[in-house]
Amino acid sequence: MATLQLTVPTIAHVENPNTITSPDELREWMDELPIANPLLTAENLLLSLQLLNRHPGALSELPELLSLYLHMFGDLLDLLRSGTGKPSAVGRRARADLDETVQQINKELAFGYKRAILARQAIPMPREVAAEILTNGLNFLANELMFAYVHYRREPANANRHGERSEGG
Asked, for residue 55, whether it belongs to a domain, the answer is no
Asked, for residue 23, whether it belongs to a domain, the answer is no
Asked, for residue 148, whether it belongs to a domain, the answer is yes
Asked, for residue 144, whether it belongs to a domain, the answer is yes
Asked, for residue 72, whether it belongs to a domain, the answer is yes
User: Are 21 and 66 contacting, i.e. CB atoms less than 8 angstroms apart?
Assistant: no
Residue ranges of the alpha helices (H) in 5-126? 23-31, 38-53, 62-82, 92-119
What's the number of domains the chain is made of? Answer: 1
Asked, for residue 113, whether it belongs to a domain, the answer is yes
Domain span including residue 146: 37-50+60-158
0.75 exceeded by the pTM?
yes
Asked, for residue 102, whether it belongs to a domain, the answer is yes
Q: Rounded distance, CA 100 to CA 149, Å? A: 14
Asked, for residue 120, whether it belongs to a domain, the answer is yes
Q: What's the pLDDT tens digit per position in 44-81?
A: 999 999 999 999 988 889 999 999 999 999 888 877 66
